[in-house]
Homo-oligomer: A and B are copies of this chain.
Amino acid sequence: MDKNNERECNEDLIRERRKCNFNIEELTNIVDGGKARTARRREIQRLLINDPEFLDEIPQDYMSHEDRYSNELRKSAHLMQKLADQESGHDIHQDIGALTGILKDGNPLMVHLSMFIPAILGQANSEQQEKWLGRSLRNEIIGTYAQTELGHGTFVRGLETRATYDPTVEEFVLHTPTITATKWWPGGLGKTCNYCVVMAQLYTQGRCYGPHPFIVQLRDEETHRSLPGITLGEIGPRLGLNSNDNGFLKFENHRIPRTNMLMKHSQVLKDGTYVKPLHNKLSYGTMMLVRVGIVGACSRSLQYAVTIATRYSAVRHQSEIVPGQPEPQILDYQTQQYKVIPQIASVFALIFSARSLSKIQSSVTAKLKDGNTDLLPELHSLSSGLKALSSSDASWGVEVCRLACGGHGYLASSNLPRTYTGTTCAITYEGENTVLLLQVARYLIKSYRSIGKETGASSVSYLADQTSLASSSSSFSNKALVQAFKLSALSLVAEAEARLQKLCDMGQEFYHAWNYCSVLLLKCAEAHTRYYICEKYEQTVDSLKASEGVKNVLQSLCRLYLIYHITLTHGDFLKCGALTPRNIAVLEGEMCDLLAVLRPQAVSIVDAFDIPDELLGSTLGCWDGNVYQRLYDEALKSPLNKTDVPDAYYKYLLPLMKSSL
């Protein structure tokens, strides 16, 4: 697709693009995080897009479950080979986002890259790294990460799989004592991997020391057969991501050498003595890194969905605004703008939050190396809150985009269904959102109760600031709106704390009182995290060095985001007096104006996300806007369309139709 060739492009899109009043490439660089990263991403994408090995013979949705797995394994093996062949191949761990869209519905080798190798890097000592890291990076062994069990998810302490140390032969005995202890879910575990990091309860010298990581060979390296004492399989079809053989794993007193326990932090000595880690939470680093990655991935999913919905909304004409006039572009309807444009604003909120979190994560990790764990609770709370809100915002936003495309958004060829099914799972994995938000709430209540004591944790310092906002003004700067978010969060935390205290005063135990307030506590955690996101958004845009055009667009998007989220939860702002009913009405009016201001720029903004058609994979979202022809051409690929009359007719329909004659 030659983007400079207007002749092949839908006329509505040509007109939309001519309205652009900012430098698209500059915005692309901001999205990528700098010119160099834009160039690097494009280089990787170019390398992959032009490779015919990544094409499917027929779209995957037509294939059987087995064929889908086989087809995706073919492509993912090719991808790994290709990356390994590149001089800079190993850097790919930093550019994993550039691969989005190359594989369509899961990747059996992804957990090898995203968790197995990081676990070795983060948890194995130097001899262990020597033994396994190089082989993993060269793909000689392929691994996954097995934590979740059939009966146990986010609550890691509840895991049942056991690793019991036997000092007589210096081995651990891995065992699955019940059906609920069956490892369940790891990507690639069913059929692909031959190694695995397993989290199991460590027993030695008659005592349980809690969950620890062990590296376990699962399959013979020559035959790929599963080893004796190990039962492996695939867990069956899912809402989405059906090609990455999520698996189950059971151990029947399976023995591994003592040195297969990953011993960078804790150790078990030959005689069975347990040596605890220098610092209890040193192993948190990997988990935090994964969460930063999730926030970024959620932003990318939303970029895909909103690119599709925005372009389609410019191409699609429907109904009438003025009776008797031609059908307008549906993007001209305020209700459509209200669906699509706040999602564009949300993309940047997630990008800027992810970047802020990543910075904090790096500085905390640096301090951790010196044994300083002071800021871990702060990082834990922020990463939990952002993981939760970004996954639920993105899932909901993708679904809004899908529904904004009407019936065609339900078609697989729009790529919106797969974008949704591949995003919503982030609500559950790597810490279920409700559980994470309640951990944020715990931190908030604790911080609120220790007001006055210096914690150094900046994200909650506002809890000490009880000064109210003067709400008589009828216009608000972005900074003033952020202050309103602050007051709303603060007031919810104060309300929850008071309700908790009251229940305790009435004689309830704290734990029961906590549970009895937990719906309110969830709201606190959401309000707190939303405030953080809004503050970073405002600060990032405010301090951005950019041309006037780009700055204007981002300022409008930021303001839309602030007002949009105020109107969604305006009761909380009214209740605490941060805003008056009159303020809300004014802001609602301004939101309509912002939608009108941003509408002519919408197509150009999503163009700046710079997603190649080959990766976007959408009939509705393609760059040239030839939506209807593409929908029709895709339909013709259905195997059912190869013949006029299907075999099933003779078998089942003909007998029915002739039965009454």
Contacts and interface: CB of A to CB of B under 8 A. Distances in A.
B319 A158 contact: yes
Interface string A297-336: 0000000000000000000111111110001000011111
Given A233-B638, A434-B335, A150 B632 contact: yes
A465 interface: no
Contacts of A661: 140
Contacts of A476: none
Contacts of A245: 640
Interface in A63-111: 63-67, 69-70, 73-74, 77-78, 80-81, 84
Interface in A568-598: 569-575, 581, 584-585, 588-589, 591-592, 596
Interface string A418-433: 0011001101110010
Interface in A325-356: 327, 332-336, 338
A115 interface: no
Task: State the copy count for this chain.
Answer: 2
Contact of A65 (B61, B81, B238): B61
A180 interface: yes
A236 B637 contact: yes
A518 B335 contact: yes
A522 B657 CA distance: 47
Nearest to A241: B410
A182 B154 CA distance: 49
Contact of A192 (B67, B221, B653): B653
B571 A641 contact: no
A81 to B, nearest CB: 6
A660 B412 contact: no
Interface residues of A, number: 147
A515 interface: yes
A24 interface: no
A137 to B, nearest CB: 9
Contact of A237 (B61, B152, B649): B61
Nearest to A248: B635
Interface string A374-396: 00000000000000000000000
A454 B646 CA distance: 59
B62 A237 contact: yes
A625 interface: no
A130 interface: no
A207 interface: no
A239 B410 contact: yes
A640 B64 contact: no
Majority SS of interface residues in chain A?
A: helix
A327 to B, nearest CB: 6
Interface stretch (A37-45, A165-173, A223-231, A541-549): A223-231
A518 B336 CA distance: 10
B639 A65 contact: yes
B574 A581 contact: yes
A101 B572 CA distance: 42
A304 to B, nearest CB: 15
A400 to B, nearest CB: 11
A238 B651 contact: no
A230 to B, nearest CB: 10
A644 interface: yes
Nearest to A327: B158
Contacts of A629: 179
Nearest to A323: B511
A510 B651 CA distance: 59
6 contacts: A77-B652, A139-B660, A191-B649, A192-B649, A225-B644, A233-B635
Lowest 9 CB-CB distances: which A-B pairs, in order? A571-B571, A61-B237, A239-B417, A570-B571, A70-B648, A155-B319, A237-B412, A138-B660, A62-B65
Given A66-B639, A571-B573, 20 more contacts: A65-B639, A70-B646, A70-B652, A74-B651, A84-B659, A84-B660, A139-B660, A148-B407, A224-B653, A235-B638, A239-B417, A321-B511, A321-B512, A323-B511, A335-B434, A335-B518, A335-B519, A406-B432, A407-B429, A569-B571
